[in-house]
Amino acid sequence: MTRQAALAWLLTPLVAVFGTLLGVLALFYGQARLVPRLAGGVEQVCGTVDCGLGVGVLLVLFGFLAVCLAMTAGCVVALRCREDQDNRRAVWRGAWVAGWCLVAYAALSVIAWWPKV
């Protein structure tokens, strides 16, 4: 394996993990500030303040799972395309993996914030 092929192989999981990590942090802090304000307080979303704490724990757990999923999927995609030595395509593959992991995190966060009755 040449040096360029090794670099291209590593770029996909690195971009996937760091892209997902930055996206999860942005979504987490954005939701933590925005959702309670839009709903009129945590009590309007959950009913109690303790429920808001539970939502925060769930969002942290879902974020961890999204980053783990990005690492796994990034390595699988990189292994499947290890013969491709183009660094630009490797970065795009990592961004594609990060994007889908962020979509999954956003869907899980909607479930976490869903009003509890």
Question: DSSP alpha helices (H): ranges in the chain?
Answer: 3-39, 42-46, 49-80, 87-113
The mean pLDDT of 17-46, rounded to a whole number, is: 86
Label residue 26 by pLDDT band (50, 70, 90).
Answer: very high
What does the mean pLDDT of the chain come to?
87
Pair 55, 83: CB distance under 8 Å: no
The mean pLDDT of 84-112, rounded to a whole number, is: 93
Sequence-distant (6+) residues with CB within 8 A of 88 are none
* 45 vs 37, higher pLDDT: 37
| Confidence (pLDDT) at 23 | 97
What is this structure's pTM? 0.85
How many beta carbons lie within 10 A of that of residue 42, not counting itself? 18
- Taking the CA atoms of residue 96, residue 101, residue 106 and residue 108 in that order, the dihedral angle to the nearest 10 degrees is 150
The mean pLDDT of 105-114, rounded to a whole number, is: 89
Angle (deg, nearest 10), helices 87-113 and 3-39:
20
| Confidence (pLDDT) at 55 | 81
Label residue 115 by pLDDT band (50, 70, 90).
Answer: low
Q: Examine the pLDDT at 18 and tell me if it is beyond 70.
A: yes
The mean pLDDT of 24-51, rounded to a whole number, is: 79
